[in-house]
Structure 1
Amino acid sequence: MNPVLKFEKVGFQYDGRPIMRDVSFAMQPGEIVAVLGPSGCGKTTILNMVAGFLDPTDGVALIDGREIRGPGPDRGVVFQAAALFDWMTVADNISFSLRCAGRPRAERRQVAEEMAALVGLTGFEDAYPYQLSGGMRQRVGLARVLAAKPKVMLMDEPFSALDVQTREVLQEEVLRIRERTGCTTLFVTHSIDEAVFLGDRIFLLTDLKDGAFDTFSVDLPAPRGNPENRLHPAFIRLREAIYRRMRH
């Protein structure tokens, strides 16, 4: 199977200062890769290059075998802040990309209702962002990305500002949505628990100046979105292994 996303010896410099060198990896269709590491290690730089917000200084980043040259509809970003349009309803926020593409109003409404149902917001289509909780606003942001049917969904610490209970519920939602849509996801996080619960693989970044990073495979029982997996011995063992690696 051909990878949907691939980095080939990618390097990046900022003001002449190397941030990363010779970074290579590939992601398969439908895979969730969690990118974990401390602040400043290059997590968001990788995500921004996949999104097309930054260009590699060296090497090449590919999606479906084509070089990434700027943002495109085949990638969608869910940000840490929901970044909704406050003057638009939930339905209009969700269907914004379809409006930009000139799709008919009836089609936009239908897609908005389908995506609202997918993320658990049925009945809130005509609400405004100020009427929603933080977790609900993040669901709208997620639905807006999914409405565009991207090849790759990019999630930049989207749940970090939420309370623990809401955060865990939304993690479970991400896995449920993956089962229904098959969307490939690159998920940036500071949380070991979040990375282990969500990821099929985990990239642990420390210093990318030599291109090296640790990769952990996650082997948890199906269904992956089962909250009891957080108590599974395999979860606890992997969490401990990553913690010990981060501390050395």
Structure 2
Amino acid sequence: MNDARGRSGSEPVPEEQPRAGSPQTAQDMTIAPAADRTRPSSRLTRAPVRWCTWVLDGERSWGSIDVQPGECGTARYRLVVFPPGITGTERRLLRLSRAWPAWGAVLWLMSEACLSSALRPWAAFGISTMVYLGIEASLISKVGVLRPQVRTLSVELIAGYPDRRSAPIYAEIKALVAALANADAMRAQKQMTTTDHEAAWWQLYDRLGTDQSQPLDEQPPI
């Protein structure tokens, strides 16, 4: 008993060591970066919206280039160039208006099938048709000014049969697409500003010209 008291009185009491992973003082504390608090449900909700936006926006802001293989070795090349300065919303509306006959038919069939289980056939038919026509009229009114400004150039080639009239048009389409793709690549690599990209877009849009372009209504959907 005395030995224990003597040792406790003569020997210094060891200081308590901080536990591993615990800060010694408030100054040593570091605030960890905040974790992503985005709820999984919100991420799942945004995913379909982003996908639809990507589909309507397309790969190119200036328009599109389509290659449609046909029968007997034929292939149709079609270049569509939007007016420079067009906004993302206007571009989506243009694409949607051109593809509306196909998308609208799917929407009409889906609404008809869903409403037929709850309403009479004639009522389901009437409501579906009114919705279809209402959306179509809204799209036409919103893109009515833009549609005449869209310039297109198309040509149809037959493999193995060179055509003197089609060859220059095909060469012009290739040159325009190459120049537009080069401008996109330079902007993506930050070698060209957005203003310079739009200026190059304007030059190629004017180069296409209204004399070479064809009415958009006579072309297949964008």
Same fold (TM over 0.5): no
**So what's the TM-score if we normalise by structure 2?**
0.23
- TM-score w.r.t. the length of structure 1 is 0.22
Higher helix share: 2
